Structure 1
Amino acid sequence: MPRISKLYDSFKNGYVVAVLTVLLAFLAVAALVYKPLTMPSTTPVVQSHDISEVTRLASLDRKNLDYLLIAEPLSDFPRYVLKYKGADEIRVVKVPSSTHANLEREVLLKHGIPYAIAQPQYLAKHPGVLDDKEAQRSALAELASFLARNAIGIALLAFLVIGLRKGLPGLTGGASVIKPENLKGSMDDLVGMEDIKSEVAHLEEMIRNRDIYRSHNIDKPFNVMLTGPAGTGKTKLAGYLAKKLDIPLIQTSGSSLESGFVGGGSKALTAIYKKACAQGRCIIFLDEAQSLFMPRGRGDKKWDDDTANTLLGLLDGVKSDEGSGVIWVVASNFDDNNMQMDEAMLRRFSVKINFRLPNRAERRELLNVFLSRKDPACIDWSRLNLDYVADITANLSPALLETVVDRASMIAIQEKSLITTDVLFRAFERASIGMTDRATTAEKEKERERVARHELGHFFMQIDPLLRQGLSWEEVKARSNLLKISTESVSKIGALGYVLSSANDVSLRTLEEMEQDVIQLYGGVAAEELFYGPRGISTGSQNDIQKVTGMLDLMVNRLSMYSRSKLDYSQLKAEASPEEALREVEAKADELYSRTLEAMKEYTGLISALTGILMERYVLSKDEVFELLAQMVELPRKAA
């Protein structure tokens, strides 16, 4: 053991590296000075670039060919060396490397023409083979040739040398230690999120007052799990916490532990832990760690769970005081509600903080914060309605809201204008839908007419329940979540038109609301059937029908909304269940589509009138749509 330790220390101190470097230099010099002890031949060499000399080999009598060699096949210009029996000369054809690959495959290999690689001894004996009005190879060229012939061995040797000094990938922790003074931001940067801030304040209090918790016999490490949608600030929070506690942070990700080496992830985790222990008090932040939380024992290889098993042990801490100051903080976009997780792993985390998307008031404040960081001269505050922008950006994370604000800046710079509500709206549209293109459908009048009717069908099925209540157009407009109707194409979603609507913060939906969602989705295909007949329905309804299928499967099979037996039929394995469930889904789809068709018949006149205007303008905003409707019909219907 002392001898092994001494050998490792010699590697660590660089002695072996120095020896290997000298060895490599010696081999390089040897390659330079080495000259074959063969006298040059007097056989004349004829250089050529005529590739047909090689292609003719496929039809010539090969008995006349003395030999065929390829010189420098790995160079940019390999040379074909041809010697015919009875000939007094050697023919050399110089070809590009790409042509060489084709010639070798299509002529030599395909027709079974024997050939070999020209060896250094042959090239030394016939120097004219490589002499095409260029100087003989210099010492540098000799070295390059040597390195090319031994590239794999040299690369492997260099890899091992570097690995012994700095660690092979996956065998050591590559994460660096970030000092608290180098961490940016603070807890105040988390706009709103008071519930999350309260949890973090409680966590900070637990860490600072460990003695109080020990008096309650709570001496486990305060391992922390952060879960929630992407872009909600989990990564930033880990840095804020380390800065507030004035302790260093070591950050890595779950994917960086997947080294490809058996045991690589385990060794990396252990190395990171030792690095943290050396700091005394330290936070280890493991981002995107969901792969480590999957249930163990699913793989057929015994080492599949090595990394997770190692993490389990490290989360418990060590028996000595070595790791008492180490806090593990892991982040994942998934939690145990939407992904099956290992129970043993979940028990290791005494603190779980679940992030959420910001509500309307928080979105407004976030938008105000992001805009306030810009030069005041870039924003027209008099034409900026943050309440409206907060309404239309429901379900966006803080990161996406910042993207919308940055996109608004790009639009303002491009148009040499100020940031206004309209600019922010277009930025939101660009971030959520993508780029729109008017030229794609400009010359396709029939297609645009169909798209216009399709999208108007969606819109009228959206407001149909409000109109059946006998509301005025003003009241319907106030309660409608429509933003715009467009016949511009969107490459991101593969559509030739769209209805842009704002979402709702509350995700709970009743049976009646879900049925209305299905009817709204059916509105497009129902409008096409009314105007073009059952055989005139286009493929533009594919995305709508896919969404309807998923919703009906949820309503019928997973939530049992139409059955007194409240069961999740998707979990049952009975043979009769799939067929029975399919029949019920088909029956409900037929019922809701029939309701859509009946409701749509009352709007065919309005759809025809608006189609022409939409064809002319390409886009109608919410204000424009309801202004036109108010001019056409004062009260579209009475309460049903």
Structure 2
Amino acid sequence: MNDISKNFILWLVIAVMLFLLLQALGSSNSGLKEVDYTTFMREVASQRVVDANIDDRQIQFNTRSGESFQTFIPGNEDPQLIDTLLAGNVTVFGEPPHKRSIWVSLLLNWFPFLLLIGVWVFFMRQMQGGGGRGAMSFGKSKAKMLTPDQIKTTFADVAGCDEAKEDVKELVDYLKEPARFQELGGKIPKGILMVGPPGTGKTLLARAIAGEAKVPFFAISGSDFVEMFVGVGAARVRDMFEQAKKSAPCIIFIDEIDAVGRHRGSGHGGGNDEREQTLNQMLVEMDGFEDNKGIIIIAATNRPDVLDKALLRPGRFDREVNVSLPDVKGREQILKVHLRKIRLAADVDAKTIARGTPGYSGAELANLVNEAALFAARKRKKIVTMEEFELAKDKINLGAERRSLTMTEQEKEMTAYHEAGHAIIGSLVPGYWDLHKVTIVPRGRALGVAHFLPEGDDTSHTKEFYQSQISVMFGGRAAEEIIYGKDKVTSGASSDIQYATSIARSMVTQWGLSEKVGPILTLEQNSFSGQPQKVATLSPELSKLIDDEIKYFIDTNYDRAVDLLNENIDVLHAMKDALMLYETLNASQVKELIARKPVTPVDGWDDNDTPSGDSTKEYTMPESKNDTDNQASDDKPVTPKDNPSDTSQ
């Protein structure tokens, strides 16, 4: 019986009880017209009353005209009433003494208490949200059970995590044919812990396992076990496993298990802490005195470092499956899954989009596809083109366009010189990423952006690359200094300076890229705060040497940026003019300018090289997700996720 049926029955019972009460209280009402006692006595004296029926203090009488009335004797009694009636030739009737039904008496006496109990039961059910299990079902599990018919997800719907799928495919074989494994004495892992950043598809992969194996799937969150009442979490764990045993073989999926599986001893209540009791009960159920055959527990978390060691030991969570961020091939596969749901133009290339989205998770790629579809819908298009995907990437990476931002011509010109400096340096220094777009259209906090895109998902870089990156970071500041002088430079390069300094510090203190300091680790990440800290007390001489080397990398690469711009000052002026006119230049146009060729207008511009409509945004190359507003910390090697691939003022 579902919640709606139970609530309907409850209110129906209350309504019936109210009706019976009103019926009992209103039973004395005969529906006759009432007159005062004086009028009745006058009618008797005038001999116009035919008969009278006396019931306690109530008198019902009929007149000679055929009308019926009722009246009530004032006070307790009228001793002369019978004599008066007989003198008036009135036929007198009497009623036997009334005895109230025992059921009516019970109803009248107990109805208020029953009503209060009913209201209390109703509100307790609402507060508990116990899925229709009753008012006292605190210890009932909140796990939602999905039958095999309800689960339509398969491994075909999971993309971008091929290694993780291979790790869990044997679970499907075991759930389908457990005897094949048991004959050889093998034991399937009791628990699988899925670890990975948010949005990488851990929950989706768990559903796919159940969908492939065609077994019941119990889904619950770690926070559903923890309540304000002591012992409720442990009771819910017991109830969940009891339900799972009845449906074995099955899968129990616990999302965000770190909510209940943290290290014991860290709570305020010590061993009596409710969360710790819940964890203790889970440990016993997973591997205790009773053997839960046919039940596989799959848990997901993005914080494995906070989990209790007893939870991770063999026999409980035997296997850890890493569901990491997808590489370029994985992103392409994920995009193809999501692109099946929308109508696409012929120019949409999943591989190109995947190249331009390093560091994206599966959830972020799904959001990108959705944003592109929304852009197309706003323009009332019937299909989604590559233009919408470029707009969606720009919006996600940098924010919406700030076309309403009012910039003076001088501010716009300075921004154009700044971004041109980044673009030129990035195109000339060795070993750096390819430029794909430079724009002075304001987005988010950036007044302009120069986008650079890596060839693949880089996991490490050379010393040459990092030095080139520092030069690129200072390209905008160097351009301002050359054009306007040292006293006229702006604060627009603050994020560039911050990131360039963090790269130089990491090169010296962590990556061993300084010849004078050597491969000595002098700075590491604090495990608690996440901030860089010294690994040991450094001598004054070594500290000074580190500072000198950091400044050397900064000064050397800043000077290189200034020299390259001075050598290509004509290109700097030409790119500034092109940005002032077009606002956005793609990679091929930048190459033409560096080769001292005129800029070829892209489609959407008229013969006078003036923008037609909003077409400046439509012809951009794929760019990396990151920008200098998201600063990488200097306590770890720079990866494509951490390293900004575009520079913004």
- Of the three residues 551, 565, 590, the one matched with 1:590 is 551
Check whether the contact 1:207–1:222 (CA below 8 A) recurs between aligned residues.
Answer: no
- 8 Å contact kept, 1:221–1:324: no
Measured against aligned partners, the alpha-carbon deviations of 1:579-636 in whole angstroms (never above 9, x if no partner) come to 87865564344223212332222214132331232123222222222222223599xx
Deviation at 1:505, TM superposition (A): 1.0
Whole-Å Cα distance in 2 between the matches of residues 196 and 216 of structure 1? Answer: 25
- 1:575-586 equivalences under 5 Å are 576-577=537-538, 583=544, 586=547
Deviation, structure 1 residue 330: 0.6
> Which residue is equivalent to 1:489?
442
Give the whole-Å Cα distance in 2 for the aligned partners of 1:573 and 1:404.
40
Distance 2:374 2:203 in 1: 26
CA contact (8 A) 2:368 2:389 kept: yes
> Within 2, Cα distance between the matches of 1:342 and 1:351?
15
Residue 253 of structure 2 corresponds to residue 253 of structure 1:
no
Show the counterpart of 1:175. 143
SS at match of 1:458: helix
| Alignment match, 2:411 | 447
For 2:492, which of 531, 540, 546 is the aligned residue?
Answer: 540
Q: Measure the CA separation in 2 of the matches of 1:595 and 1:573.
A: 26
Q: Does 1:319 align with 2:289?
A: yes
Residue 429, structure 1, aligned to residue 394, structure 2:
yes
**Structure 1 residue 231 and structure 2 residue 193: aligned?**
no
Q: CA deviation at 1:510?
A: 3.2
Counterpart in the other structure of 2:234 = 266
CA distance in 1, matches of 2:487, 2:546: 23
Q: 1:542 to 1:272 in 2, by over 3 A?
A: farther
Matched, 1:342 2:308: yes
Which whole-Å CA distance do the structure 2 matches of 1:25 and 1:523 have between them? 83
Q: Go from structure 1 to structure 2 and tell me whether the alpha carbon gap of 1:507 and 1:574 turns closer, same or farther (over 3 Å shift).
A: closer
Amino acid at match of 2:389: L
TM-score, length-scaled by structure 1: 0.64
Q: Report the alpha carbon displacement of residue 342 of structure 1 after superposing the two structures with TM.
A: 3.2
- The answer to whether the 8 Å contact 1:556/1:581 transfers is no
**In structure 2, distance between residues paired with 1:578 and 1:308:** 47
Residues in 2 aligned to 1:334 and 1:445: alpha-carbon distance in whole angstroms? 50
Q: Percent identity?
A: 25
Higher helix share: 1
Q: Structure 1: 5+ residue runs without aligned partners? A: 1-12, 30-152, 470-478, 635-640
* Alignment-derived partner of residue 114 in structure 1: none
What is the deviation of 1:168?
A: 7.5
SS in structure 2 of the partner of residue 396 of structure 1:
coil
Preserved CA contact (<8 Å) 2:210 2:251: yes
Please tell me whether the aligned partners of residues 223 and 328 of structure 1 are also in contact (alpha carbons under 8 angstroms): yes
**Residue pairs, 1:197-596, within 5 angstroms:** 197-211=165-179, 213-214=181-182, 218-219=186-187, 222-302=190-270, 303=273, 305-316=276-287, 318-321=288-291, 323-335=292-304, 339=305, 341-347=307-313, 348-374=316-342, 378-381=343-346, 383-417=347-381, 418-441=383-406, 443-466=407-430, 480-491=433-444, 494-503=445-454, 504-562=456-514, 563-564=517-518, 566-567=520-521, 569-570=523-524, 576-577=537-538, 583=544, 586-596=547-557
Aligned to 2:65: none
Secondary structure of 2:596 counterpart: helix
User: Which residues of structure 2 form unaligned runs of 5+?
Assistant: 1-5, 23-116, 527-532, 600-649
One-letter amino acid of the counterpart of residue 521, structure 2: L
Of residues 166, 183, 186 in structure 1, which corresponds to 2:134?
166
User: Once the 2 structures are TM-superposed, how far is the Cα of residue 398 of structure 1 from its aligned partner?
Assistant: 2.9
SS in 2 for 1:439: coil
CA contact (8 A) 2:436 2:586 kept: yes
The 8 Å contact of residues 253 and 288 in structure 1, kept in 2 or not, is answered as yes
Give the Å deviation of 1:287.
1.3
- Identify the residue that residue 580 of structure 2 maps to in structure 1: 615
Q: How far apart, in 1, do the equivalents of 2:582 and 2:440 lie?
A: 9
Whichever residue aligns with residue 565 of structure 2, its letter is Y
Counterparts in 2 of 1:328 and 1:446: CA distance versus 1, 3 Å: same
Matches of 1:625 and 1:431, distance apart in 2:
24
Moved more, 178-187 or 481-490: 481-490
CA separation in 1, counterparts of 2:420 and 2:561? 10
CA separation of 1:296 and 1:245: change in aligned 2, threshold 3 A? same
In 1, Cα distance between the equivalents of 2:231 and 2:588? 62
Once the two structures are superposed, the pairs formed by residues 56-205 of structure 1 within 5 Å of their partners are: 159-160=123-124, 163=128, 166=134, 171-191=139-159, 193-205=161-173
Deviates more, 1:258-267 or 1:451-460: 258-267
The change in CA–CA distance for 1:569 and 1:293 in structure 2 (over 3 A counts) is: farther
Q: Give per-residue Cα distances to partners, 1:441-498, cap 9 Å, x unaligned.
A: 4x322322232222223223322323xx9xxxxxxxxx8432211222222xx22222
Distance change >3 Å, CA 404–CA 582, structure 1 → 2: farther
**Cα drift, residue 224 of structure 1:** 0.8
Q: What is the deviation of 1:283?
A: 1.0
Task: Check the 8 A contact 1:174/1:268 in 2, yes or no.
Answer: yes
SS at 1:180's partner residue?
A: coil
Q: What SS is found at the alignment partner of 1:490?
A: coil
Q: In structure 2, what is the equivalent of residue 109 of structure 1?
A: none
TM superposition outliers: structure 1 runs of 4+ over 6 Å: 153-157, 571-575, 578-582
User: What does the per-residue CA deviation read over 1:255-282, in whole Å, with 9 as the maximum and x for residues that have no partner?
Assistant: 3344344444433333322222232322
